[in-house]
Amino acid sequence: MSQVSRRDFVKTAAAGLALGGCSTTGAGADRETHRPPNLVFVFPDEFRRQAIGCMGEDPVITPNLDRFASEGVVFTHAVSNRPVCSPYRASLLTGKYPFSTGVTTNCYDETVPYNVFLRESERCISDVLHDRGYCCGYIGKWHLEAPREPHLYSRGKGGVWDEYTPPGPRRHGFEFWHSYGCHDDHLHPHYWIGDAPRDKETTFDEWSPRHEASTAIEFIRNRDERPFALFVSMNPPHMPFHMVPDEYVDRYGDKTCEDLLTRPNVDLNTKPGQIAKRWAKHYFAAVTGVDEQFGRILQCLKDEGLENDTIVVFTSDHGEMMGSQGLMYKSVWYEESLGVPFLIRWPGRMRPGRDDLLLGVPDVMPTLLGLMGLGKEIPAAVEGTNYAPLLLGMGGKRPSSALYLLHDPATPDAGARGIRTSRYTYVIERRTGGGERFLYDNEKDPYQRTNKAGSDPALEKELQAELARWLELTRDPWRNTLA
């Protein structure tokens, strides 16, 4: 692997986006009066909804996100329907739920027998935009490839997670490519750049969000005359939590884990709780670092005179428990895992404010196409809903619930299904030897400390009927065995 300095990289990018992207005409390119909007979509990994200062929950330092939130729409009830990396990404790009994409769990060597990967045949948002003349770019973590021979079992203990995506249809219209599969060395990230072959990945000695923000800035500065759609997938604040520059850790001073993990449902007396106790400051430090890098991208849009012409989204693939309920990481139905930030700004077109719309991941693709004037181009196979009219102040029907799903193709009869309504979370969990039901009144019990299952049969019957509707809609294998 080659090591490339920041200076050499910038020279290469500025010379004409020789990274495998769009031709260069510079910042002074002429623009049409009614030019289609650009799109910048930034989604760090494992960044929970509560970890933005303006939400008033976690004691985090996020000045750029706080300012951005005041300028756009903040969805306070956005959810990650299958809160883990690969299923989110497949649903984001296709507008379809996991059983339709086939990506019901993460892509890595153990799921290869179940064909867990993004199909070439899918029509993604990037395919639509590319075909309508957009320059589409992807930077950062992809995590939608199944490892392939001869590399499938070549990297030893821990399994094979990373995988090369060759140029062509597997990149789904992304012509600017600065990406990797799944690799968690945040301080020494590697990327396949442009048309580089599998054995020519490039490693940078730089914190990955900083490098990716710089790459995004070079992409924007060196754009051509076409509208662009840029997706920036930062890995932090995803574990390993210690891989964050000290400058961000230092901003939290001498704060203890008790100062940072202030949610009443945090239990540090478990093994996961002890992990949270050790890494809370580093997790929030990475949140602050991501905030700073996002701010750099926003400043670039301002400097280039693109603020009013660009739809900007900040969101995440799922949350992070960080000791809440005595748990770590994601996949579960609790708000710290299920809830994701979703902030969107389009100056002059969207009125800033907060909205409790139960936005699911498959809704994002059709909504963005609707906002970009391409509602008629939404593929017929899309299962999400186009909420662009709501965002543009034209009203429309709102969802009564959002789906929650936990599925492992190796154990299809186990797992969990549930829904999140504006007030309740209702989940049916199945496991070997039994199962359990969970019901939380998020209005009276926002930290989900009391399971009310069994206390209100009429309510549960209503919620189960709503869940059954979702299982039928998504062709879930559980749909005939829900009772």
Q: Using an 8 Å Cβ cutoff, are 97 and 81 in contact?
A: yes
> Which of these, 480, 35, 44, lies nearest to 290 by C-alpha position?
44
Supply the DSSP string of 222-287, one letter for each residue.
T--SS-EEEEEE--TTSSPTT-S-HHHHHTTTT--HHHH---TTB--SSHHHHHHHHHHHHHHHHH
| C-alpha span between 429 and 418 (Å, rounded) | 8
Computed over its alpha carbons, how large is the radius of gyration of the chain? Answer: 22
**Backbone torsions φ then ψ of 415, nearest 5 degrees:** 110, -155
Choose, from 22, 130, 135, 143, the residue flagged as catalytic. Answer: 143
According to DSSP, the residues that pair with 437 across neighbouring strands are 428
The burial of 480, by beta-carbon neighbours within 10 Å (0-12 exposed, 13-18 middle, 19 or more buried), is given as exposed
| C-alpha span between 129 and 347 (Å, rounded) | 21
Q: For residue 326, how many other CB atoms are within 10 A of its CB?
A: 17
| C-alpha span between 313 and 224 (Å, rounded) | 22
| C-alpha span between 154 and 160 (Å, rounded) | 8
Euclidean distance between the first and final Cα of the chain, in Å?
A: 54
Examine residue 150 and say whether the peptide bond preceding it is cis (omega within 30 degrees of 0).
yes
Q: Tell me the CB-side half-sphere exposure of residue 192, using CA atoms within 13 A.
A: 20
Q: Reduce the secondary structure of 102-147 to three states and give it as a string.
A: CCCCCCCHHHHHHCCCCCCCCCCHHHHHHHCCCEEEEEEECCCCCC
143 is catalytic: yes
Q: What is the dihedral of CA 384, 385, 388, 391, to 10 degrees?
A: -100
Q: Cα–Cα distances in Å, from 418 out to 195, 211, 281?
A: 42, 38, 32
Choose, from 22, 77, 85, 135, the residue flagged as catalytic. Answer: 85
Q: For residue 3, how many other CB atoms are within 10 A of its CB?
A: 11
124 is catalytic: no
**To the nearest 5 percent, what fractions of the chain are helix, strand and coil?**
30, 15, 50
- Residues known to be catalytic: 85, 143
